[in-house]
Structure 1
Amino acid sequence: MRRTVVATVLALLLVGTGCGEGRAPVAPVAAGTATASRQDPGQVERTLASLRKVDDLPLYEMTYVGDYDPTAGVAGADPPSPFGCSLFAALGDRDRPLFARNFDWEPNPALVLRTDPPDGYASLSLVDISYLGVTADPAGDRRLLDAPLLPFDGMNERGLAVGLAADDGARAEPVSGRPTVGSVRILRLVLDSAATVDEAVTVFERYNLDFDGGPPLHYLLADATGASAVVEFVDGKLTVDRRRGPWQALTNVPAAGVPDRDLRRDHRYGVLAKELDRVGGVLDAPGALRLLDGVRQAHTRWSVTYGLRGGEVRLVTAGGGARDYRLPMS
């Protein structure tokens, strides 16, 4: 059944410009008190005091001090999920595997978030803070204490990276006995507890994903060993499509089990595939950012690369900023 609709999905996407174009904006989460924080008052103060604006996207940085509950409200839905656009893992150089993505959506403020929970892996992730109800002036806003719950892409200290993209044809049927988690929240659970692609897939398998209120999603995973996989929902069931070469890419078309020639009919996927074939899946951060620039859209908010062995992060935003970070690896 899925294969019969792939051509139609591809055709529809080919006549548009991609993620989110022509769709009504998604409303942010209603304002409310933070539910995830396990911080003492001093840790709250230090977390909020670490917030600083670094470019005109606007882009902010914040270090989360102390603990949080990544499963807070796990039985409920996350806020409506965004459209993620173009992602790839360049894995041809075993010493320098790299994960890269464009995030294309509404002109909302974003946050570079550092977390280091006592019972999980440290990570660096990117958050669209409008989904917390935070807008123009986030200084002192306690809703930022829930920022760990909504990573749209990120990498942890073990070199495991994950990002999401919309997949309109996906449908996740609940499995009896599994808790339900929002389709963005699952990234936090992966970053906190998975060191490899296999472990990340196991995290996905523990939960039912809730796509209500936003587009269905699929996910690209990659790790420091050079493994990668796409996680999708095919006819309601979780499906894992593992890498079969030195790279793996994902846009907004179904990927699991779809012939390569059909995937390349999507313009952005085709551009990524052509260049990744040409270089044999070997790209450094500048090369990866050039490739992301080749598939950027008018509504691309940020482009980011994650070095899966060395912990290097390079971020370029629509606000004109280019920033480098390094996540200490373990």
Structure 2
Amino acid sequence: MRGPTAALLAALLLTVPTAVACAPTGRTSAPETTYAPGTAPRQGEGGALLRQTPDERARTVAGLRQVDDLPLYEMTYHGGYDIEAPLTDAELGRGEDGWACSLFHRGAEFGRNFDWDPNPAMVVRADPPDGHASLSLVDVSYLLDGKDPADLKDPADRRRLGHAVLAPFDGMNEKGLAVGLAQTPDAELPARTPGRALVSSVRVMRLVLDRAATVDEAVALMRRYDVDFTGGPQVHYLLADRSGRSVVVEYGQGRMHVIDDRVLTNITMAGADRRARLADTRYRTLAEGIGTRTDALDLLRQVAQPHTRWSVVYDLKAGTARVVTGQRWSRVHTFTIEPGGSAPVSSPG
């Protein structure tokens, strides 16, 4: 496993500053200014990464727990955060192939396999003071400074993990909107727009979860930001909402494409007709499967790969997520957006 670096951590958590900060409201005491390790603002740059009162910080780290031996952790984040904090020079920092993920949308279900290195993961609940409550999954290897697994008895490790709120790899909010990413072989981003905020490929998903309620709102929001893939894999996104609408957002030929589809793997979608898409085995398996009554986790099992780290099915109406880690299909964790809403491990079906 490649060791995480300070540059990788900073790239995942930060964005280019703008004149607008998401300041929390309704505080009874001044929030504490905190920074992820190695990510304090450089001279001339302002804004705190996390906006928490001492009580909110204590509640966040106190609630961290290990769910299984992937390891999979669980955290409910309390407080606010600056969604447009500064960005360092390195983006994701993972240039190698490996993000061979599979995603689909069917009715109220949003399913996803995250295929990557054997790293720890975390289920994160967030309810920002100026946004929608959400549930997301995060690869937290970059937060741990090379430690695997984290030591939850170590206050420093617990504090590092608190920053996972800013880097969702997939997720769903209380409005029934879901988003997830997958690597794409080709991407050509639009030219930078003067004065527009630049956000990382995971931070744009935090923006979507916090601020959008529908696919159309999410697409409009993504058009207002420049996205940066520097130093890491190029990605595209599947967006879905509880109305049944879903689209792929992909960058190519210097612009943002919005493509009507319910399945996403690792093929270039813009300009590809259905025949070309069906030539991809995982795409075809999911496209054919979503028209059947096959359980969503079983569909994900059919397209799982040796390096599938987690499989998740979000229920966009019920606000729940069924999670399988490390392809242990007989062990299903169920989580809800509401704090304290995790259920005992169960077997599928």
Report the TM-score when normalising by structure 2: 0.78
Correspondence for 1:300 among 302, 308, 324 = 308
| Counterpart Cα distance in 2 of 1:269 and 1:198 | 24
Question: How does 1:1-80 map onto structure 2 within 5 Å?
Answer: 25=2, 27-28=4-5, 29=8, 31-32=37-38, 35-74=48-87, 78-80=91-93
Q: Give the structure, 1 or 2, with the largest relative contact order (CA under 8 Å, sep 6 or more).
A: 1
- Structure 1 position 170 matched with structure 2 position 187: yes
1:322 and 1:143, CA in 2 relative to 1: closer, same or farther beyond 3 A? same
Q: Amino acid of the residue matched to residue 290 of structure 1?
A: D
Unaligned runs of at least 5 residues, structure 1: 1-23, 92-96
Counterpart-to-counterpart distance in 2, 1:150 and 1:78: 12
Match of 2:165 in 1: 148
Q: Does the 8 A contact of 2:124 with 2:137 survive in 1?
A: yes
User: How far apart are the structure 2 equivalents of 1:78 and 1:257?
Assistant: 27
List, as ranges, runs of 4+ consecutive aligned residues in structure 1 with deviation greater than 6 Å. Answer: none
Partners of 1:150 and 1:213 in 2: CA distance? 16
Q: Is the 8 A contact 1:78 1:184 kept in 2?
A: no
Determine if the alignment matches structure 1 residue 106 to structure 2 residue 123.
no
- Read off the aligned partner of 1:143 and give its amino acid letter: R
- Counterparts of 1:207-246 in structure 2, within 5 Å, are 207-243=225-261
CA distance in 2, matches of 1:274, 1:201: 26
Distance 1:151 1:130 in 2: 13
1:322 equivalent among 294, 316, 332: 332
**Pairing of 1:74-223 with structure 2 (within 5 A):** 74=87, 78-80=91-93, 83=99, 85-91=101-107, 97-134=108-145, 135=147, 136-139=149-152, 140=155, 141=157, 142-177=159-194, 178-223=196-241
1:242-253 mapped onto 2 (5 Å cutoff) = 242-243=260-261, 248-253=262-267
Aligned length: 290
When residues 260 and 228 of structure 1 are mapped into structure 2, their CA distance, relative to the original with a 3 A threshold, is same
User: For residue 123 of structure 1, what is the amino acid of its counterpart?
Assistant: S
Give the C-alpha shift of residue 181 in structure 1: 0.6
Distance between the aligned counterparts of 2:142 and 2:91, measured in 1?
A: 9
Equivalent residue for 1:276?
A: 290
For the structure 1 residues 239 and 74, does the alpha-carbon distance in structure 2 shift closer, same or farther, using more than 3 Å as the test?
Answer: same
Take 1:172 and 1:43, find their aligned partners in 2: how far apart are those partners? 38
Deviations 1:29-73 (CA, angstroms, capped at 9, x unpaired):
354367521001221111111110010100000110111112122
CA contact (8 A) 2:70 2:325 kept: yes
Residues 228-261 of structure 1: CA distance to partner in whole angstroms, max 9, x if unpaired? 1000012121010024xxxx10000011331111
For the residues of structure 2 that align with 1:174 and 1:232, how far apart are their CA atoms? 15
The CA deviation string for residues 111-164 of structure 1, in whole angstroms up to 9 with x for no partner, is 000000000000000011112235322422222232111100000000000000
Per-residue deviation, 1:26: 7.5
Q: Please state how far the C-alpha of 1:175 moved relative to its aligned partner.
A: 3.4
Is residue 112–residue 180 contact of structure 2 (8 Å, CA) maintained in 1? Answer: yes
Q: Please name the residue that 1:94 is paired with.
A: none
Percentage identity across paired residues of the two chains:
50
After superposition, the CA RMSD in angstroms is: 2.0
Q: Measured at CA, do residues 199 and 76 of structure 1 come closer, stay the same or move farther in structure 2, by a change above 3 Å?
A: farther
